[in-house]
Amino acid sequence: MYPAIRDILFRLEAEKAHALSVNLMRIGGSLAPVRLLLRKWFDVPDKQVKAFGLTFRNPIGLAAGYDKDGLAWRGLDCLGFGHIEIGTVTPRPQEGNPRPRLFRLPEDRALINRMGFPGKGAEFVARRVNKPQPSKLVLGVNLGINRDTPLDSAGDDYISLMRTFAPLVDFLVINVSSPNTLGLRSLQARDLLEDLLQGLRDERDTLQEQLKRQVPLLIKLSPDLSDDELDDALDTITGNNMDGVIATNTTIGRRDLVSPVAHEIGGLSGMPLSKLSTEMVKKIHARTAGKLIIIGVGGVMDAQGVREMLAAGATLVQLYTGLVYQGPGLVARIMKEL
């Protein structure tokens, strides 16, 4: 049935179609009978995974960027995700980049976005996640800095967000890899990352003591790092005792695309990213001797993509663009095939 719905959605401007799907999931997720129906429809077998002190009902998660403001996660939970990462959330609300800023590349099974962290800000999102959590869902929040925050104050933004969200969710992700906030990705360089992570590690340790539980802190990486840059980042990440990495965010690379909008500026996701991100997961796994937990993301469109990510060394896998092209039954289909 989804191909017919997708045809209708794809006639709408990409961001409008996205907003419509978020709204449907928000409304559906707020109604107990609809949640029950969705769960029955998208019946997903359990295949538990344990990582950083948490138990996931299955390895498939929803990547950041779909539910930026934490509006729809209760509905999305009914599609069978083992975990959902909401955000990116910034401390203060902001508009993001001018529209259009999201483009479909159907011929390439891809998207390009230059959203620039539009969102309602931390206070709003904290109210949205401070609701009873379905008992099996693991919820994470992806944290970013406001556009007008100078890079040398980035740590202050991340720390204020950690304080807001650590008591409310299961894990936190530091986003230093979005290509759509000027300069953000330079925080992955050794010296800047070292300064940043020292502060964040101390804050995480304090929060763990206060909350008397583990507060997993993960770093989301860009697929565009060179081998040397990746080595530097991994040294710093393991040296500061981070709980894991998410590999990868979108790429600014444009190889072998055929869609007419391939020249649009922004981050590319979907099928053309698959090889790059899977290779990156392989490298991270090899260079950290399998000791760093990796969430693999980028171009996962089906069960085969999940298998490849897991074989490359990922413990958990996320997807976003696959959901746009394959529809809400994707997690159920994958888990039945795995």
Give residues in contact with ligand FMN (CB under 6 A): 63-65, 68, 88, 102, 111, 113, 115, 117, 142, 175, 178, 220, 249-250, 269-270, 273, 297-300, 319-322
CB of 330 to ligand FMN, least distance (A): 10
Q: Which is nearer to ligand FMN, 187 or 319 (CB)?
A: 319
Q: Which is nearer to ligand FMN, 19 or 36 (CB)?
A: 19
The residue at minimum Cβ distance from ligand FMN is 65
Question: Which amino acid belongs to residue 47?
Answer: K
Q: Which is nearer to ligand FMN, 95 or 205 (CB)?
A: 95
CB of 159 to ligand FMN, least distance (A): 18
Q: Which is nearer to ligand FMN, 207 or 246 (CB)?
A: 246
Name which of 70, 54, 190 is nearest 127 in CA terms: 70
Indicate which residues carry an active-site annotation.
Answer: 178
| Residue pair 154/187 in contact by the 8 Å Cβ criterion | yes
Residues 13, 18, 21: CA angle, nearest 5 degrees? 125
CB of 321 to ligand FMN, least distance (A): 3
Collect all residues with Cβ–Cβ distance below 8 Å to 258 and sequence separation of at least 6. Answer: 107, 108
Query: What span, in angstroms and rounded, lies between the C-alpha atoms of 293 and 241?
Result: 11
CB of 277 to ligand FMN, least distance (A): 7
Q: Which is nearer to ligand FMN, 160 or 208 (CB)?
A: 160
Sheet holding 102-105, edge to edge: 102-105, 110-113, 267-270
Largest CA distance in the chain: 53
CB of 161 to ligand FMN, least distance (A): 13
